[in-house]
Structure 1
């Protein structure tokens, strides 16, 4: 650095200084925020249902495979809801404190288009612009065609460029602006002529783009990409499954019928909002469960206690399945909720939301009811379908990472040179285990017996010894084996 500044040419020294200042400023804005992770194992009741509540609910009663699958699915839903509620903490993030981000991004893009700096500096400029556009939801339509030029599998640092394209997309960008970028990625990356890693990176990039701007995905392209779930490469399969799982949550109707999975109440209500549409509700979704629960409790109080007696024939040593009344109540409430039409549900939720003050217990019941929609099947939809699950957890923040684009579920196969180097590295000490044959005179010639042993078999197969060897009797073989063992013991 100091060598550049001591250059005899003052113009060259000034240019070097400008580049260093530019890189320092870019690193300042691109600095990573350290998240404060204070996840305690103990879960308070205010945070909604805990894992223990789900275990009690699904483990009581008969231990069937159906209940086991329901418990596993409920635990996944609980984990996803916990991650959604996690608030991002920024110790100091300069990119969030910019006064006029739109003007700043436009100036940076103008500088990027006319820049003659090294490619690494251009990548840093693209990263900063994409983060500005994504975090502040800016309109910078000229940035997408500029990035689109670099979307080739052979391009250097192409994963970072794909990350910039995904980071710069958001819901306020018109779908016709993002569609050419998605089409370019699909045509250049997701083809059978490319390697499995390139296809995986392309599908992951499309998934991140569509997750931020769902309207930019067409139904035909989605169904074409979903067919890669049966590809021979494991990484491509898992990426395609992740894309399918994303649209099961966003809009299952866009998928092929066999890829929609078992329909649930939440998937039935799933809908992608139109461009610029904002869904404002004047009620708390799921609040109708409070009114239904109150009616169920009143019916139970009217019925009174039922007498229960045990037969004398039952053995005392046997276990008896005990069903919790709370489980029966929740099942009854869920059945009643499913029988209520959707319009009536909304009306009841609006009445409950405006007529009473909700406590923390009420909010907990509402969260449980909303989570149950993602587990319980939709009414009248009991048919089984192939369940395509992806192992990856959905956790998207404001800033994407390269891990989201370069996610490989299987270790890539090493090339021949790497495998050969690994094999040769393991043969360093093998001379100790090799039998040492020492001659009195190392320059002495070999005997006729050794020459005969090393002779080509095609030259020896017509000899009398070879032809009669397979026709020997059992006694001759015994004698030959005995002589060989005695000879071997003599040489030791």
Structure 2
């Protein structure tokens, strides 16, 4: 049946709409358009560089209705693919974009496999069309994301990753860099977050193309902020961490004093500091570096490439950063790394603070101290010297602190005591940096410090045992678990005491003892010693009297016996307990608690609270500030080295804004009008304040006080005048 006056063949959008509604009724019109398409395609292959508008419209039309006639259009996708593979580089950019859009439509209708389309698009990344490359990149990422949205297709992902591995070795710089960017984007979007992806990206670090190498290196030095597992871990860790209120309730007392209030603030700071430390350790967790198969070989190849290739300074800095992170995270040993970076440690060197950061990141306990000691001496000689400015000295001390906090054995006693002398330096920045270094060794190796720099010992410092090189402190028990045994005994004693005796406020007596300072305690101890010596002297004198009167039988021994009993009661029997005995006793209790039961979350909370109290309680049961936390994360922050305790100068505008902010809500400065009625007239004295100076110049001059000589001259002239008048 032939339809007369049919305008559908010339109106493709209308025909497309009708075919989607009823494909069978409009099949003749479709076949007519298909024949037209094939004839135009044959002509186009002869001159692929020209733009053909009719073919452009027909290709999109055929792609839109392809699902309606799958048999007739079975070879349509292959035809477009062959054109792009054969004439891709020379095609007109609009026609090439149209062919790509048509293939994407076929892929969305599931008429084309993802492997065939993605492999074609990866090949088209070599084209010089920037707009097309961006379009293909966005489609590749979204398509792979959709493929792995419900469940991950391991076989498909493996094939695509193998194809990308070959693309990274492509001689075309743009195609290799774009392929690497796609893999990095898929990793950051948590689509391809596996070991193979990271190791494929790591091969880009050894690319001969500098742009590809820099992009791969930047991937490993970028902080991973989208790690959902880290966020969940951090949230769960916060729930298990004791808060400030729990620590306060564990030390609840009835009496409030200034000293206890001060210690309470220190407890709050300590708890918040521990929470902040845990959050920082999670936020700086570089999951990509942990997934590398052979970190030692990877770091050695990177460092060897750094020594052989002549790249820009910025590229060298990136390589040094990646190598330092690998060394610190996996505790690798690359001895040549430290002499190489040691030559850059000069105050005038460009980016010297980042070099210090790399040295600190690459320091760990498994490196022999002999390897790191030359770097330490270089920092001391080049930076910590009075010939340098205070800022340079402070930065040098901060770098030494960060390095020694990770490898404390590198420090010698002589160098440490010399650096500790800067705690009395005239500049505050140097003084605070030296004190921070002292605090690090107070908590790790206090025996290297001078006795006056060790501070008052706490219960936590008594448990410090200096480790030797290569020694691992592996505990077979939960440290601090002995507190659970003590609390159980305390509860049992409280139950028995409450039934028979009256309750005594022990905390209040402790409070009174806390209020006594060190001098009062020493005076009490001296009085006790004098009392003991006095009783011993009386006992010796009484024994002498007894010997002298031994021949007298009628002496009364009752007084002497009563006196000796009194001496026995007064004289305390002091039992000397050494530090080793205390630690051994605590260890036995902790082992007993750890082995006899399974600890709950509440038990771990109580243990952590007790460990916090150990940092606040001295060996003589006095409160003092907590020692600084010396545990370090995986990454050395640049601000830890650049942090200088100095009040920075502000620019003029900042100072003006600060002044105006301080003037808000304040009364107007200057003369205050005391008139009750603001419309009443002012006095002449008040009006004179607003007059022009030239109007009152003559009056202001008269107020000038005369000197003694002028007064003499005036008096003489006056007397002469009076004499003439006579």
**TM-score, L = length of structure 1:** 0.70
The alpha-carbon distance between structure 1 residues 174 and 437, as it changes in their structure 2 partners (threshold 3 A), is same
CA contact (8 A) 1:29 1:95 kept: yes
Greater shift in the superposed pair: 274-283 or 212-221 = 274-283
Bigger proportion of residues as helix: 2
Match of 1:273? 467
Q: Does 1:354 align with 2:548?
A: no
2:399 is aligned, of 205, 208, 215, to 205
Count how many residue pairs are aligned between Structure 1 and Structure 2.
400
- Give the superposition deviation at 1:35: 7.0
CA contact (8 A) 1:58 1:67 kept: no
CA contact (8 A) 1:26 1:128 kept: yes
CA contact (8 A) 1:43 1:50 kept: no
Match of 1:153? 347
Match of 2:643? 407
CA contact (8 A) 1:291 1:352 kept: yes
Match of 2:240? 47
Cα distance in structure 2, aligned partners of 1:163 and 1:119: 16
Aligned ranges for residues 179-194 of structure 1 at < 5 Å?
179-194=373-388
1:16-47 deviation per Cα after TM superposition (whole angstroms, max 9, x unaligned) = 9822222222212222222779699x999962
1:40-71 deviation per Cα after TM superposition (whole angstroms, max 9, x unaligned) = 9x999962432113334556322223323332
1:67 is aligned, of 256, 260, 266, to 260
Larger Rg: 2
- Give the superposition deviation at 1:83: 4.0
Q: Does 1:398 align with 2:589?
A: no
1:231 is aligned, of 419, 425, 435, to 425
Q: Does 1:124 align with 2:318?
A: yes
Cα distance in structure 1, aligned partners of 2:219 and 2:507: 59
1:153-172 deviation per Cα after TM superposition (whole angstroms, max 9, x unaligned) = 11111111111111111111
The alpha-carbon distance between structure 1 residues 343 and 308, as it changes in their structure 2 partners (threshold 3 A), is closer
RMSD of equivalent CA atoms: 4.3
1:82-115 deviation per Cα after TM superposition (whole angstroms, max 9, x unaligned) = 3454451579743222221211211211121233
- Give the superposition deviation at 1:404: 1.4
Name the SS for the 1:304 alignment partner.
Answer: helix
Match of 2:185? none
- Give the superposition deviation at 1:243: 0.9
The alpha-carbon distance between structure 1 residues 71 and 38, as it changes in their structure 2 partners (threshold 3 A), is farther
- Give the superposition deviation at 1:295: 2.1
Cα distance in structure 2, aligned partners of 1:369 and 1:352: 15
Q: Does 1:24 align with 2:215?
A: yes
Cα distance in structure 1, aligned partners of 2:339 and 2:244: 47
1:294 is aligned, of 473, 481, 488, to 488
The alpha-carbon distance between structure 1 residues 91 and 297, as it changes in their structure 2 partners (threshold 3 A), is closer
Cα distance in structure 2, aligned partners of 1:29 and 1:268: 41
The alpha-carbon distance between structure 1 residues 394 and 346, as it changes in their structure 2 partners (threshold 3 A), is closer
Aligned ranges for residues 249-398 of structure 1 at < 5 Å?
249-305=443-499, 341-379=582-620, 396-398=632-634
Name the SS for the 1:341 alignment partner.
Answer: helix
- Give the superposition deviation at 1:231: 1.1
Cα distance in structure 1, aligned partners of 2:316 and 2:238: 49
1:390-413 deviation per Cα after TM superposition (whole angstroms, max 9, x unaligned) = 8xx767321112111111121356
The alpha-carbon distance between structure 1 residues 296 and 25, as it changes in their structure 2 partners (threshold 3 A), is closer
Cα distance in structure 2, aligned partners of 1:177 and 1:170: 11
Cα distance in structure 1, aligned partners of 2:618 and 2:707: 76
Match of 1:445? none
- Give the superposition deviation at 1:253: 1.8
CA contact (8 A) 2:335 2:371 kept: yes
1:294-325 deviation per Cα after TM superposition (whole angstroms, max 9, x unaligned) = 2222222222346779xxxxxxxxxxxx9598
CA contact (8 A) 2:285 2:634 kept: no
CA contact (8 A) 1:77 1:374 kept: no
The alpha-carbon distance between structure 1 residues 325 and 378, as it changes in their structure 2 partners (threshold 3 A), is closer
The alpha-carbon distance between structure 1 residues 254 and 201, as it changes in their structure 2 partners (threshold 3 A), is same
1:78 is aligned, of 254, 262, 271, to 271
The alpha-carbon distance between structure 1 residues 470 and 264, as it changes in their structure 2 partners (threshold 3 A), is farther
Match of 1:136? 330
The alpha-carbon distance between structure 1 residues 278 and 88, as it changes in their structure 2 partners (threshold 3 A), is same
Match of 2:309? 115
The alpha-carbon distance between structure 1 residues 273 and 108, as it changes in their structure 2 partners (threshold 3 A), is same
Cα distance in structure 2, aligned partners of 1:470 and 1:34: 85
Match of 1:449? none
The alpha-carbon distance between structure 1 residues 107 and 63, as it changes in their structure 2 partners (threshold 3 A), is same
CA contact (8 A) 1:204 1:404 kept: yes
Match of 2:36? none
Cα distance in structure 1, aligned partners of 2:607 and 2:509: 16
Name the SS for the 2:452 alignment partner.
Answer: helix
